[in-house]
Structure 1
Amino acid sequence: MELRTLRYFVAVAEELHFGRAAARLHMSQPPLSRAIKQLEADVGAVLLVRSATGVTLTAAGAALLDEARALLDQAERARVRVAGAATLTVGILGDSADPGATRLADAYREKHPDVEVRVRDTDLTDPTCGLRAGAVDVALTRGPFDATGLTVHELRADPVGAVLRADDPLAGRANLALADLAGRRWFRFPDGTDPAWQAYWHGGEPREGPVVRAVQECLQAVLWNGTVGLMPLGHRPPDGLAVVPVTDLAPSPVVVAWKRETPLVRSFAALATAAYQTTGGRRTS
């Protein structure tokens, strides 16, 4: 029995009318009738009783209907599973123009040309990019964050600096310490954001200032309000802003993270390790 023939049978059994079933299947009635007759011959039993008023199921037909529905459901689940095996959803936080990300995209496409990569660009309130919620298969992100239940592999570590208005008195300094920023208003993340993530990007202290959720919001908060904050040194600020290295804060790790390892995720992590080679702790160009 072919799945196509079983679909035909289920349509007739549910509609109890060959004409309506043919319309539902977007086919003409004669080939549908021939397919059902061939199915009856294959199973050696009458499945449907035809009459002028419609169709009724025989006992054999009712039994086959249950089995056919189960088989078709199983076939659909298999189709979805196979399609999913050829799809990888990647969560990306931060700079998607990072040369490491570009090299990784090129390498992954070369090795897995038949895999559809779906990219989920996430904001700064979830450094895991939706891993815990199952929204992505793997995340290309930054730490630190709560890694409970996740596998996290560091790819590179970027020094960070304070982002300031270009006319800020501190903007001309060669470097800064966190103490130099004491008493300043900072852009900050919403309550409920990962505590480890907040603590790092807030310089280890509670901060007061505008709440932000995206990189552009951080930069605009500095430009419009004169607030301060932190950003990786490898990121070039827009006109009107400056980034000054902060010497007493550990570098920000660029990481690949995942919750459930699959062959596609494992390959992604291996290729990411090669793509994100570091030189002196800074991003390579």
Structure 2
Amino acid sequence: MNDLSGIEFRHLRYFAAVAEAGTVTEAARRLHITQPSLSQQIRALERRVAAPLFHRGPVGMSLTAAGQALLDGANRALGELHAAMTSARGAALPARIGVCHGLSQEVLAAAEGLVTRDRPLHLGYHAVDSHDQADRLRIGRLDFGILRGPVDETGLTTRVLADQPLGAVVGRAHPLADRTSVTWAELDGQRLLWFPESAASGYASTVLAQLAVHGWTPRTTPGDHDHSSHTLFRHALLGDDTVIALRPAAAVADDPALTWLPLSSDPPRERLLLAAPTATIWSRLLA
């Protein structure tokens, strides 16, 4: 606690305001205090932290590495304090939940059921790639995340929402559409409708590595980044009979124009996780 002596809530609020505004002048205007007073408070905070928090330039201020670390921690602390105060009043907590692309309604309902099991929440959904979700959870910019594993789980508490085998998805006119299952050999020469690997790098590399083990190193065809747009997904498959996708069966169960074919042996799997920052009010809701 000695590290926190002399640091008050207003210091963190002032610091965050300057970081957001980019200048002391603008931050002081927003805070309704004088510029000299705000400058004094920021310098006092830097002395207490024993590190410069801002690069001061002729047209503005930007965070140093130390400043960014403090801002991330302050955001987490302020978010947790706000949640605790709301919880103490017995009111429904607002909660930000990240959602990766291509989720089914069943998965969303399962996640909502888990996080609201013990108390009501006002959930706000945000479309965020799996990789970015993990980072935003750790710095307090999301309260929950629904993401594809594997991800770096450092600082996160996770629950498995779904763990399903992937199968080949093709249009009804595709040469493989009349099969009851498909072998790895039959996939040779097929192009794979894929997504930018940066969206879920752990999942992408795991699946592609397993395909290579089975002798299939497909040429990938970029798909719609936002695969929640099922219309664009099906359009890509119906417009080319040399392209397949890999999805769980539930992803296309209600689309009569598409066929889902199980892989005959050792299919890759899609593992969806519900995550929250460890040691927070949010992770306790996942316990």
What range describes the TM-score normalised by the shorter chain of this pair? 0.5 to 0.7
| 8 Å Cα contact 1:189/1:212 also seen in 2 | yes
1:208 maps to 2:226: no
* TM-superposed deviation, 1:166: 0.9
| 8 Å Cα contact 2:143/2:282 also seen in 1 | no
* TM-superposed deviation, 1:118: 1.6
**Structure 2 stretches of 5 or more lacking a match?**
1-36, 42-74, 85-92
Farther-moved stretch of structure 1 (185-194 vs 159-168): 185-194
1:230 maps to 2:246: yes
Partner of 1:258: 276
Q: Following the alignment from structure 1 to structure 2, what is the Cα–Cα distance between the partners of residues 82 and 145? A: 27
**TM-score, length basis structure 2:** 0.55
The change in CA–CA distance for 1:241 and 1:110 in structure 2 (over 3 A counts) is same
Partner of 1:242: 259
1:218 maps to 2:218: no
**Structure 1 stretches of 5 or more lacking a match?**
1-62, 68-76, 271-285
For residue 92 of structure 1, the aligned residue among 90, 99, 115 is 99
Aligned length: 193
For residue 165 of structure 2, the aligned residue among 159, 167, 175 is 159
Percent of aligned pairs sharing the same letter: 24
Q: Following the alignment from structure 2 to structure 1, what is the Cα–Cα distance between the partners of residues 205 and 218? A: 8
The change in CA–CA distance for 1:138 and 1:162 in structure 2 (over 3 A counts) is same
Q: Following the alignment from structure 2 to structure 1, what is the Cα–Cα distance between the partners of residues 255 and 282? A: 36
| 8 Å Cα contact 1:91/1:136 also seen in 2 | yes
Q: Which amino acid aligns with 2:94?
A: T
* TM-superposed deviation, 1:159: 1.6
Q: Deviations over 1:171-196 (max 9, x none)?
A: 12121233321211221222544443
The change in CA–CA distance for 1:102 and 1:185 in structure 2 (over 3 A counts) is same
Partner of 1:38: none
Q: Which amino acid aligns with 1:87?
A: P
**TM-score, length basis structure 1:** 0.56
Map 1:69-108 to 2 at 5 A: 82-85=81-84, 86-93=93-100, 94-98=102-106, 100-106=107-113, 108=115
| 8 Å Cα contact 2:155/2:277 also seen in 1 | yes
The change in CA–CA distance for 1:195 and 1:206 in structure 2 (over 3 A counts) is farther
The change in CA–CA distance for 1:80 and 1:159 in structure 2 (over 3 A counts) is closer
Farther-moved stretch of structure 1 (214-223 vs 197-206): 197-206
1:127 maps to 2:130: yes
For residue 182 of structure 1, the aligned residue among 162, 182, 188 is 188
Q: Following the alignment from structure 1 to structure 2, what is the Cα–Cα distance between the partners of residues 192 and 80? A: 28
Q: Following the alignment from structure 1 to structure 2, what is the Cα–Cα distance between the partners of residues 163 and 80? A: 42
Q: Any idea what SS the aligned residue of 1:244 has?
A: strand
* TM-superposed deviation, 1:127: 2.2
Q: Following the alignment from structure 1 to structure 2, what is the Cα–Cα distance between the partners of residues 199 and 225? A: 25
**CA RMSD across the alignment:** 3.4
The change in CA–CA distance for 1:156 and 1:191 in structure 2 (over 3 A counts) is closer
Partner of 2:12: none
Q: Any idea what SS the aligned residue of 1:218 has?
A: helix
| 8 Å Cα contact 1:164/1:241 also seen in 2 | yes
